[in-house]
Amino acid sequence: MTKARTLANFDTTNINPSNLDSTGTIPSALLAGVGGGGLEEADQWRITSEFTGAASPPTNWERNDTFSDKVGTGMTHSNGYFSFPSTGIYLIDFRRYGYCPNKAANIHATIKFTHNNSNYTTVAQGFGNTEPNSQDPSNNDHYNTHTTAIVNVTDTSLNKVWFGFSHYGSVSSLTSSGNSNMNFTHATFLKLGET
């Protein structure tokens, strides 16, 4: 499935002291086809402002631009839906933070993925509960819900993802936190390897 970017399959026959340059460096011609290691794609998006209630999906996403940047091409966002820059195996990490004025249970953070740009399947769902926060001047309870998924992107036109925000019961004023200067509710995308 995935191809590790290492020297494991590299022919080292021609790598010997006589082939090194004057600084002891392997000439670039001998390294043709060897990956540089690291991730080809890494991107992070966040909700820019808080909202109350459920959203499937929320649309107020922005790329993290606070002392940060993407690696590679990065994800594309449109109306709450994210498209992938290239095929491969991706890790998706989704973290939902927020608060409400009373106790709440089963606060969901959901990752929905499609292979056909039509039918979305829940590939991961986190459940959280609010806890009292004595540091909150408004006396709100706070929550942190987290989930991850690894998906196989085989077609960049048809494979997409969105994030669901929901909860059980009638919770008044359940807020999902967002900010355009720092990460509260956010999602991280890492390409781990090729399909």
pLDDT of 5 reads 42
**How do residues 33-55 score in pLDDT, each as one tens digit?**
555 568 999 999 999 999 887 78
pLDDT of 6 reads 43
Which residues are within 8 A (CB) of 192 and not within 5 positions of it... i.e. 6 or more apart? 2, 39, 88, 89, 90, 91, 150
Question: Has residue 58 got a pLDDT over 70?
Answer: yes
Out of 3.40.50.720, 2.60.120.40, 3.90.226.10, 3.90.1300.10, the CATH code matching 39-193 is 2.60.120.40
pLDDT of 134 reads 75
pLDDT average, residue stretch 60-87: 96
Distance from chain centroid for Cα 1: 21
> pLDDT tier at 2 (50, 70, 90 boundaries)?
very low
CA–CA gap between residue 195 and residue 193 (Å, rounded): 7
Q: Are 182 and 49 in contact (CB under 8 A)?
A: no
Nearest to 93 by CA among 163, 36, 153: 163
**How do residues 132-175 score in pLDDT, each as one tens digit?**
787 777 878 888 999 999 999 999 999 999 999 887 766 667 88
pLDDT average, residue stretch 47-70: 90
pLDDT average, residue stretch 54-68: 91
Q: How high does pLDDT run on average in the chain? A: 84
Which residues are within 8 A (CB) of 74 and not within 5 positions of it... i.e. 6 or more apart? 41, 43, 63, 85
pLDDT average, residue stretch 4-26: 53
Predicted TM-score (pTM) above 0.95: no
